[in-house]
Amino acid sequence: MKTACRTALLTSAALALAFPAFPQSAPPDEGDVVVVTGSATPVEYEKVGSSLTVIGEELIEDQGYSYVPDVLRQVPGLAVNQAGAAGSLTQVRIRGAEGNHTLVLLDGIDVSSPDQGETDFSTLLSGDIERIEVLRGPQSGLYGSNALAGVVNLITRRKVDGHYVNASIEAGEFSTVQLQGNTGFGNGEDYASVGFHLLTTDGYDVSPDTTAQGVPAVGLGGVPGDTEGNKVATVYLRGGKAFSPVFRVDGIARYLNKDSDLDGQAFNFPIAGDSYDDASEAELQQFLAGASTTLSLLDGRWETVGSASYVDEKRRGKGTSFPFLTGPALPTPAQLNVPMSSSGADATRTKLALQSTIEFGAPSFLSFLTGFVEGKEETYSDPFAARDEERELLGVGLQYRGEFAEQVYLSATARHDDNRGDFEDADTYSVALSWVIPGIGTRPHGSIGTGITNPTFFEQFGFNPGSFVGNPDLLPEEAEGWDIGVEQTLLDGRVVLDLTYFESTLENEIFTSFGPPPNFLSTPANRTTQSDRSGWEATFRVYPTDTIDIVGSYTSLDATEPAGIEVRRPESQAGLDASWRVSGGPFQLNLGVSYNGEQIDTDFGTFLRTAQDPYTLVRLGASYQLNDTTEIYGRIENLTDEDYEEVIGYRGQPQAIFVGVRFRDGTTK
């Protein structure tokens, strides 16, 4: 079956090359795209001076990106690391920063774990996402904590004029089944929509070895060839209503459930540094709800938005106690059959915010002034110990945005965060400038700003007094960074190029220090040294015809700390997505390429930094539109069957084939 599917897809690709592509009308004008990230109020893309990438749902669907992190591999400046199969911890690092320096929003709501302060990207499916906006560079002036390196904002479909019904089913390698469905209706002002996305897979064996020096079935419940499966499902409901021409209410609710099989990792004899088969597992449930009210006065020139959001997360994990001895004797079956240990947390985040924007001036000198205030309460409970913690934070800020001579666009933001004595307060800012030079398609842009990431509950309070002690005196991590670039549009918009240089410095980085033997007591502390990141990003969008779209990026990064090159930050990386609607007809070819250059990781067998080989992942897909409502498709992931690891000791996904069918019906505009 696998060989037949691969042959069919490759044959379709070869036949398609025999058909010519006909040049047609001009490509879309990205400058007219309205974005909501990087500005307190929605604004056209070309007016944003910060580095911003927008990925639309058409590209996500064409390439078959089921998980959000797979989309983000193609974005300049973003490094994605997945510790095993789908469902394993997946981190995204922006411009060489840490994973918890990336703020992730869903329609403006922070979806990070309230107690860990970081988003596990393996929880994020792409279903019903209208676009993804990725803002790079320190952004805490507008967004507060965790936006130290940038923001990933997932935008769902909200404005509905008409009705729609979408559904898809997909099946493939590793007994994978994926179901999606959503429906909605509206009149352009009032709307309601509901949907779901379910993905289940048996996965593959992420452990490079099925035995540990001749000892099979390592760990409790482990078997040779053990696979790591994943089940993740989201259900969501959205709606909005205009009660009058000046007042409206919008709301969203989402429930997420994820159940993943994992493998343990050895830190000692006899397979030091490698992962091993065991019965480790992790479960996560997250409920999210948010609502906003909008009051628009003075013919829309004065707009006030009040919002509230709530995130409730329950996380549970089971793993084997470390089963390996220091040698030279191999562990006995009794020593391998260790009991399972449990961990987890119950955590919540409640946020109330108010912002008001006034517009004034003439078209040649237009100004927008926004004041905002937000209060946040976070709670943490350890279900396996008598520990309950909570903290409150208050942030206030002001943003000015100006449009001058209909070509120069400036934004400046300042913010103060009052951390209510839990840790030091913070003051942050950002300034960004975009200049759309008339007539020549040139747009210089640049930004400068600061960012912070607050200590997590674990870092403040600890979670195991016998081995890990919290530090209530921690300072927030701080960064200052800037970038400057130029975007050039050529051939009436058929070619768009952008080249950007960036630098950033991180201070007060939180790390874990280990005490002397025999307890090796660990505790977090702030570094007194600084870490530096710099590099450049290149992007291009090419539309040779109306039937061919090509989008690509390249990043060169130098990320260092006093100990040397930072781990899991490739020195170079690149991505390319291309689609070809052959002759403008029903048949389409899709190609995706992700290159991850050489990077450094920690080998947990030696605890030394070790170079990892570069790898290239190729994805080839094809689709055929049967009629106005139905499309069949298929794709091969890891076409060349590259043998690679994103994290040392965890094997990457081998070659896999998936096929599916989509149904779309509706009259939306």
Rounded to 5 degrees, φ, ψ at 61 are -70, -45
Please give the Cα distance from 234 to 99 (Å, whole number).
23
Q: What is the pTM of this model?
A: 0.92
Residues of the chain with pLDDT under 50: 1, 3-26, 212-222
Give per-residue pLDDT as tens, 283-336: 999 999 999 999 999 999 999 999 999 999 999 988 776 555 555 666 555 555
* Residue where the block lists tokens 């005196």: 473
pLDDT value at residue 325: 54
Q: How many domains does the chain have?
A: 1
Please give the Cα distance from 68 to 80 (Å, whole number).
11
Burial code (b: 16+ CB inside 10 Å, e: under 16) for 209-245 equals bbebeebebbbbebeeebbbbbbbbbebebbbebeee
Please give the Cα distance from 272 to 324 (Å, whole number).
9
Angstrom CA distances, 23 to 211, 548, 591, stand at 57, 9, 20
pLDDT value at residue 13: 39
Angle at 68 between CA 89 and CA 255, to 5 degrees: 80
Give per-residue pLDDT as tens, 523-552: 899 999 999 999 999 999 999 999 999 999
pLDDT value at residue 649: 83
Largest CA distance in the chain: 81
Q: What CATH number is attached to the domain comprising 249?
A: 2.40.170.20
Residue-range definition of the domain harbouring residue 405 = 2-666
